[in-house]
Structure 1
Amino acid sequence: MKKVYIESGCIGCGSCEAICPEVFEVDGISTIKKDCDIEKNASCIKEAAKICPVEVIKYQE
């Protein structure tokens, strides 16, 4: 996985942080933690993208 990002429209529900706390942090809206290992956490990033109710979590492989 090369990149993970969050498009505008996040509703701050916290589901991404619940599934992948090593990468996502929610404080009103979701953000990606600095210095997180996206390769190591690729499977939970994909799962977080699937469960995002507003489909704003995107990644590039």
Structure 2
Amino acid sequence: MTTTPNALTIAGLETVYDALASAIDQAGPEKSQLFLVKLALLNANTLADTELFAAHIAASLCDL
């Protein structure tokens, strides 16, 4: 996994995980995939690096 100088702490990652889990629950099973795609596209746009985003996709697919 690629790290950045502004990487989150473990506590920050836990906060993000909790917020994401809550949002997935809020979206519900019918809309959770759409929510995750929209979130990924918003984050990709903010990241503004297609190669790094592709690396994040690959890392996320590992060990599913």
Tell me the TM-score normalised to structure 2 length: 0.31
More helix by share: 2
Tell me the TM-score normalised to structure 1 length: 0.31
Larger Rg: 2
